[in-house]
Structure 1
Amino acid sequence: MRIGELARRTGVNQRLLRYYEEQGLLRPVRRPSGYREYGDADVEQVRRIRTLLAAGLNTTTIADVLPCTADTGNGLAAACPDLLTDLRRERDRISRSIAELHTARTMLDAIIEATSH
């Protein structure tokens, strides 16, 4: 299938699909004409990429994590034992960001409250 069909089947626009290719997350076959050719496995690969992005991972981390994921039918699971260490590190990074954002919101609420009086 060509990139337009992959975009239609995954709901991801063509520009993002090209970006995923630039990041090494997708590796379509190139036809002599230069057109990209995707297979059914690429549809699943894009779904995995989107799941990992939604989990807060950046594309650099996804490039490392993606080969070690397996679809369990209920979601993605780590297929390589070493992957859990990386995933826990990313979870801790996200938790720190959440705490920082919570602190910032609390401070902003205090400023808004003080201004309202």
Structure 2
Amino acid sequence: MRIGDAAAASGLTPRALRYYEQRGLLTARRTPSGHRDYGQHDIERLRAIRELLDAGLTIGDVRAFVHVLDITSPSGGRTSATTGEGGTGHCPVAEVTIQRVAELNQRIEQLTRARDRLTTALAHRFGDFFHAPPADLTPEPTPA
């Protein structure tokens, strides 16, 4: 299928497909006339890439384990081969995910400290005029 159809089938734009190809996440086959040609396997990979990016990984993160994206089954199940090219014991997906979660936890801690400094400073400066919101107050999630 051509790039427009593949983009529609994967919920992306043709520009995103070209970008993913530039970044090494996808390799499109070419027709004799030079047009990109995508199959169902490519659509599944594109959906997986989109899902991982939406979950908070970066293009670089996904590129680090793009070779194992094709090991996952279309039904969402995983095979024992998710250790990648090196055999057993090495799982690039786990390594990247552990690193990303650690970075997120560090940012959460930094933001929590910043919030606490701000509310303390405002309470000190403005006293009774300032009523700090409860620390556990979270806004309602926005619809997806």
TM bracket (short chain) = 0.7 to 0.9
Write 1 or 2 for the structure with the bigger share of helix: 1
State yes or no: 1:86 paired with 2:96: yes
Match of 2:7 in 1: 7
Task: Work out whether residues 44 and 74 of structure 2, in 8 Å CA contact, stay in contact via their aligned partners in 1.
Answer: no
The correspondence for 1:97, drawn from 71, 91, 107, is 107
Match of 2:45 in 1: 45
Q: CA deviation at 1:32?
A: 3.3
Question: 1-side partners of 2:104 and 2:37: how far apart?
Answer: 36
Q: Cα distance 1:19–1:85, how it changes in 2: closer, same or farther (>3 A)?
A: same
Match of 1:59 in 2: 59
* Pairing of 1:68-87 with structure 2 (within 5 A): 68-69=68-69, 70-71=72-73, 73-74=75-76, 79-80=82-83, 81-82=89-90, 83=92, 84-87=94-97
Q: CA deviation at 1:112?
A: 6.5
Secondary structure at the counterpart of residue 79 of structure 1: helix
Give the letter for the 1:95 counterpart.
N
Greater Cα offset, 47-56 or 85-94:
85-94
Greater Cα offset, 27-36 or 5-14:
27-36
Task: Work out whether residues 2 and 35 of structure 2, in 8 Å CA contact, stay in contact via their aligned partners in 1.
Answer: yes
Write 1 or 2 for the structure with the bigger share of strand: 1
Q: Cα distance 1:13–1:5, how it changes in 2: closer, same or farther (>3 A)?
A: same
TM-score (normalizing by structure 2): 0.66
Q: How many residue pairs are counted as aligned between the two chains? A: 117
In structure 2, stretches of 5+ residues that fail to align are: 84-88, 130-144
The superposition leaves residues 49-69 of structure 1 with CA deviations (integer Å, 9 ceiling, x where unpaired) of: 012112221111211112224
Give the letter for the 2:64 counterpart.
D
Question: 1-side partners of 2:34 and 2:121: how far apart?
Answer: 56
TM-score (normalizing by structure 1): 0.78
The structure having more radius of gyration, on CA atoms, is 2
Question: 2-side partners of 1:58 and 1:29: how far apart?
Answer: 25
In structure 1, stretches of 5+ residues that fail to align are: none
Question: 2-side partners of 1:101 and 1:33: how far apart?
Answer: 53
The structure showing larger relative contact order (alpha-carbon pairs under 8 Å, at least 6 residues apart) is 1
